[in-house]
Amino acid sequence: MTALSGTTIIETAERVCGEWTARLLADFGAEVIKVERPGGSPTRRFGPPVANGSSAVFAYANTGKKSVVLDLETPEGCAALERLLARANALIDDHTPAWCANRNLAPEDLSARFPRLVQCHITPLGQDASEDMARAFPINIAAAGGWAWHTPSESGDSDPPLMGASPFMPDFDTGYDAALATAASLFHQRRTGEGQAIDLSEVAVQLSRADVVLGRVLAGDDEPSHSRRRYDMGGPGRVFACADGHVHLIMTTARHWRGLVGLMGDPAWAQEFPEDWLEFHCTPERVASFREHFRSWIADKPRDAITHEAHRRSVMLAPVNLAPDLFTNLQYRHRGFFQTLDGIDTPAAPYRMTASPPRLTHPAPEPGADDRELAA
């Protein structure tokens, strides 16, 4: 038994955010029935492809699901969806309010017909946004939520805003919050028999992640400003080149400094820095001097060996991994993070639960692979 065994979720989502939400719930044993348009979900055609030619993004966000094909532009398709919803515990959708209203999937309509149903509606700015703000791409979400401007740390004011570590990073962030809200609502449903509608804003998710930026302003440590450097954490940390790649250093306390000095073998130049310089004397001149010395010292060091030794000394020095590094990482392998589905190593859940462990049961389905569900 897993946490959501016996739970049926209908997914009408056609973007990564909604698909990822339902995938997280499928990991815990929910029966997720994915409703696809004729020809399949648009995300099936997103790049890059995996070994079998299918979309890597789709394969990742849709493991463990069933698939039925319905044409929701027709009365017959909408009637079939209605039958699925009648036996479901929850609905996951990421379309615009207008799209939902045209298919009788608006929150108030669903609540009237299915008062026990948990509905999770994911939109860029919430259900009450104006119609011209009802659609957005992930980069729009990241930009509107502030992340594109204030990351990466120490960007110059003349640099362009960040395009994103992944074109779908805001989608995955949103999915975690949406899955959490849905799971909480399902718990409420089990206790009371009542459903509820979740109105989730993707931009609000990004704002909720900006705790460092907003926290510093609210605490009075910084003033709101257009300068991208206003929100840096301070300290000399950044990415440095080593012998076989790059490492990222974060260093903000005296303990970090003592550990790093020991790692470097107590060089003479380090004695010029007060032990508490990171907390009380972190001047631009000292930052520049440190970086010049450390850059020279780290240049001929092997990435993995030096980061392992740094960790022993409580120094926050991390390897900057490339994609192949992640698949061979010993810790990920030890935790069983990657599971093999159809011969492809697939990332699983980043958490373990003793009583209800998340599992990848089967690969993403082919379109309409489970159309028999419509007759159930």
User: Averaged over 6-27, what is the pLDDT?
Assistant: 97
Contacts 24+ apart (CB under 8 A), 229-238: 229/154, 229/155, 229/157, 231/150, 231/153, 232/153, 232/154, 233/153, 234/278, 234/282, 235/278, 235/282, 235/287, 236/278, 236/282, 236/286, 236/287, 236/290, 236/291, 236/294, 237/316, 238/153, 238/154, 238/291
pLDDT tens-place string over residues 274-325 = 999 998 888 889 999 999 999 999 999 999 999 999 999 999 999 999 989 9
Interval 41-63: pLDDT, tens: 999 999 888 867 789 999 999 99
List of E strands, 44-140: 66-69, 90-93, 118-123
Cα–Cα distance measured from residue 318 to residue 108, given in angstroms and rounded to the nearest whole number: 49
- The average pLDDT across 127-141 equals 92
Pairing mode of beta strands 90-93, 196-201: unpaired
167 close to 131: Cβ distance less than 8 angstroms:
no
List the one residue out of 136, 155, 132 whose CA is nearest residue 145: 136
Q: Which residues of 86-122 are buried (b: 16+ CB within 10 A; e: fewer)?
A: eebbbbbbbbbbebbeebebbbeebeeebeebbbbbb
218, containing H or E segment: helix 211-218
What's the pLDDT score for residue 235?
A: 74
Exposed/middle/buried for residue 369 (C-beta within 10 Å: 0-12, 13-18, 19+): middle
Q: Which two tokens stand for residue 100?
A: 């939902």
Tell me the average pLDDT across 2-23: 96
